[in-house]
Structure formats: C-alpha cells, structure tokens
Amino acid sequence: MDETDFEGTLVLEQLAAIGQVEDFFDAVDADDVDRATQLMKSANLDASTIATVVRMMEASDGEH
C-alpha cells in the first residue's frame, strides 16, 4: 500500500485536516494497524471506512 491507494479519498482529506497524513503512512509502512486505526479514529472516520483500510493493510502485508 502507498499514497496512490488513498489519493483523493476521504481518508486522506480527514487525516490532512488534523495534520496526520505522514504519521498515518508511517503506521501503514510499519504494518502498525493499531496506530493507523487510532489516527483514523482521531480524524473522525467512520467504522466502515476504518475497517476497509485495515483490510487493505492486512491484504497487502509485506507488499508495500
């Protein structure tokens, strides 16, 4: 997973609004699902969106 997986998405918009895009991608790169989830919750993303991102992270495990 990389930034192109999220370009133009609500995920990036919401994370940018709280200044956490870089931290989010650091968490994704580290396969740190807990940290990524925490950041998305802080950005007020809904549970469905968070679950989708977590599934994407788990599906791409080791492919980033």
**Residue 31 exposed, middle or buried by CB count within 10 Å (0-12, 13-18, 19+):** middle
User: Quick one: pLDDT at residue 9?
Assistant: 80
Looking at residues 4-25, what average pLDDT do you find?
Answer: 85
Q: What is the mean pLDDT of the chain?
A: 86
Torsion sign (Cα): 54, 56, 58, 63: negative
Domain limits, the chain? 3-59
Looking at residues 35-60, what average pLDDT do you find?
Answer: 93
pTM of the model: 0.82
Grade residue 7 by pLDDT with cuts at 50, 70 and 90: low
Reduced 3-state DSSP string for the chain: CCHHHCCCCHHHHHHHHCCCHHHHHHHHHCCCHHHHHHHHHHCCCCHHHHHHHHHHHHHCCCCC
